[in-house]
Structure 1
């Protein structure tokens, strides 16, 4: 059977149309909820928004973990990229901690952001490994879950152990003998050959009487023979009492050598399930009806390991979660429409395939068991087809798209031609509007179209971006007035959008010591937000663009690439890893640099925003009547930015910014470097560009590190300029 692949929805990123009246939320993106996201990407649900909440930007397919461990496939092959999948689906992705649920009010409670209303909620946060009340916090214990971080944690632990046990055989105990434990034991040797490169002994420890206790005897024998063939010891009917350095202590007092413990026991309910005010079974999993609805709140569904059907419970296995997907997709729509729901009927048996790490697999099907290489080929085919269903197709590179954030700013050429015709008006990024006996008062304004589906994140970014000119002038923000355009739609979604938007902004203004004191809100075709920010100067004079002096070093506080990565994200082509770097860079607060700059001999400064580094630097050079030389290989860039440029992706403002190349001297080789294009990339929440002597820069760096700011990076030097020469030279 050929599975259809995902296609890009028309409304990819941002809110361009009327707000939907209905809201489906997926809490946790396991196998079942991932199916909903996939189907939503393919066909959507009329008048319905979708939000995905996950602790991570990727969802891990557990079926491929052993193959990654054995080095048979790269790690990326086991991850579903939720950032790209949500971008292609026009769904919102939130990676913040949920702390509770108000099922009666239909609201999800977060640690930081406002409660989120929903019409229908599906909970699929999986399970954890049962601890049996044993302390698992020791540094030599690696729990298999969360799987998204398992390999990284395992590598880090091995590095730490190498410093202590490099000269002797490493003793490793895998605790748990279910399918996961057996596969880990079989596939771990290949991983150790690459990451330990020394001698090791492996053992499997289980309190069950046999390994693979839920499998048939023939499968158990095949697995046991495989472990013995690998000289992997097995300890059955062995209950662990405690974990000590270098040993496991059992209930009968036996000590099993264990320098490294990999914890892969049976399923236990995550702590969060007990905080949701929903009925649970005696193990803490959510009780459901055959329709997968909660037994106490019909607008809440529990799927995968998170749920237990009240009258016909099934084992906690991914195969059941996968089969629940189509039923959940149907029932979510029926719940929204108020029509009768369908029942989920679990399969009576399923094909079990265990990767033994050597190119073979052990298979069990309806009482039959076998080990062979062709079974491994079958497993690889099944797993690959499953993962291929979650590969989104990105938007075509040549399809026109107006960028958001600072990418929707008009170009410098248009501004420079229009503003002089407006009359005798002073145009400053941050203008002095008054003074007291103690300080000058400055004001600035900025706004943009939302670059994200998440209003809360948009509010945070908008606050930081609007305050940037105040910070760059050497002032501290004190007050802000908002200007918001909320998309048309029902009152409920509008209220929720506005609440999240302003709550996100308030979080950042609070951190800066500023307050939102007023604003104005209207309806419009898409979500837009901006702030007028008022601040107090920190010194006797403001930092300005025109005071650069020959010999000054040029320093920046953030890497470049925000604009092109936002453009890639809008096209569904920004990976989860690169998106994390992008958002983290945008949310780096810059206000603490202002006080350091004022008190440390900074001669001139500006922020790097819509016109890109080259455009804003040229403004400074022109105002200061100097030139500059930039060293291209010294300019920091975000991961994925140059790859995106090489792939032909760019912000819609970049071509206008690139007109400034007429003022740039650079060789053909430099101009063909993808990093050269980053100089013209518009930055939303970009860093600061500061001019100062190298001596003063050296003095400021310890203070920068002391308050945990990103160190200043020198990218060039200010020069005197000869008449008729181009002011900016790139080498």
Structure 2
């Protein structure tokens, strides 16, 4: 069995296998990162609340505890006919009777001129942390105000903007969002709270606009405006790795793997997918860690069932989920269905949930 990627679903799967291993099964995890970053604590690290080590999960060590071989390499594709996983390092293909894919998406930058050269993607996390370190260094050495632009006004963009603002009081921040409202996947109350907070902290918000070109010291919007920029952070909707579709897997228009409610790929029952990489038929789920962590239990059950020849069960996502968005001031926005609030209690709750999640891997 091959596990591709060290996303939230797979790290929880490995944690379960530490307690209840799969006997007589040779398992291998392939990941291009030796440490997986827990995204829930990333803004807290940016704002200075957490040390970097607090949000990292050592995949190699976790695999050792679960009796799973770890290969530090990048997957470049699959040979579906021969049931092989192809590696970018030139290593021999890995034979696979069963595959589970849990690779994180990255912000879509392909159609924006200069974005890949000059913008800093929010994912993968190591790229973001490198870009943030460069930003802090530039702020220390600059005599003027840095111009920082964030492309994307979803929960990730808003939370990052607030976290960065808390560290760089003298920089100028601008969020550029293609929609009419920030936090498009949240209710109007949460949107109102976020907009007011950004206003209070002098973060400029430009809605119904897109960045169409990124240059070394500026960006160009689709309405012709040019904005000065020292650093551009790309926090738009994620796009999956291109090799998923190139391998011949059934994918959505956006490039995500089409899977059944059992998390099996359409037409390929020996391939499973979870987290950002998966798009479950007849279910429209946001690309959120809240759902990825809930997929670990049904994924484990169905992998065991598949190996044992038993019936598989459907993954049934919760109808509503509680979202907690840190605001870098000892408070957080809580959003659930049509309800939202902002208080110190919700930051306490978020911190408790995040630390409890990470304690499983310490």
Range of TM-score over shorter length: over 0.9
Q: Is the 8 A contact 1:119 1:336 kept in 2?
A: no
Deviations 1:202-242 (A, max 9, x none): 11111110110111110000001110111111000011221
2:173 to 194, 198, 202: 202
Q: CA deviation at 1:105?
A: 1.9
Deviations 1:521-568 (A, max 9, x none): xxxxxxxxxxxxxxxxxxxxxxxxxxxxxxxxxxxxxxxxxxxxxxxx
CA distance in 1: counterparts of 2:84 and 2:39, whole angstroms: 30
Q: Is the 8 A contact 2:152 2:236 kept in 1?
A: yes
Q: Is the 8 A contact 1:58 1:148 kept in 2?
A: no
1:161–1:189 CA distance, 2 compared to 1 (3 A): closer
Q: CA deviation at 1:177?
A: 0.7
Q: Is the 8 A contact 2:115 2:213 kept in 1?
A: no
**Structure 2, unaligned runs of 5 or more:** none
1:189 to 153, 159, 165: 165
SS, match of residue 168 in structure 2: helix
Q: Is the 8 A contact 1:269 1:306 kept in 2?
A: yes
CA distance in 2: counterparts of 1:39 and 1:103, whole angstroms: 28
Q: CA deviation at 1:161?
A: 7.5
CA distance in 1: counterparts of 2:67 and 2:123, whole angstroms: 29
CA distance in 2: counterparts of 1:208 and 1:366, whole angstroms: 20
Does 2:122 match 1:144?
yes
Partner of 1:27: 4
Alignment of 1:597-616 (within 5 A): none
Does 2:335 match 1:357?
no
Q: Is the 8 A contact 1:361 1:376 kept in 2?
A: yes
Partner of 2:98: 120
Q: Is the 8 A contact 2:330 2:347 kept in 1?
A: yes
CA distance in 2: counterparts of 1:355 and 1:64, whole angstroms: 9
Does 2:340 match 1:369?
yes
SS, match of residue 277 in structure 1: coil
Count of residue correspondences: 360
Partner of 1:271: 242
SS, match of residue 244 in structure 2: helix
Does 2:20 match 1:43?
yes
TM-score by length of 2: 0.96
Deviations 1:420-447 (A, max 9, x none): xxxxxxxxxxxxxxxxxxxxxxxxxxxx
Structure of greater Rg: 1
Q: CA deviation at 1:246?
A: 2.1
CA distance in 1: counterparts of 2:214 and 2:260, whole angstroms: 39
1:78 to 55, 60, 70: 55
CA distance in 2: counterparts of 1:366 and 1:308, whole angstroms: 22
**Structure 1, unaligned runs of 5 or more:** 1-23, 194-198, 392-731
SS, match of residue 354 in structure 1: strand
Q: CA deviation at 1:52?
A: 0.9
Deviations 1:400-436 (A, max 9, x none): xxxxxxxxxxxxxxxxxxxxxxxxxxxxxxxxxxxxx
Does 2:111 match 1:133?
yes
1:94 to 59, 68, 71: 71
Does 2:281 match 1:310?
yes
Q: Is the 8 A contact 1:285 1:307 kept in 2?
A: yes
Q: Which aligned segments of 4 or more residues in structure 1 are displaced greater than 6 angstroms?
A: none
Greater relative CO, 1 or 2 (CA 8 Å, sep 6+): 2
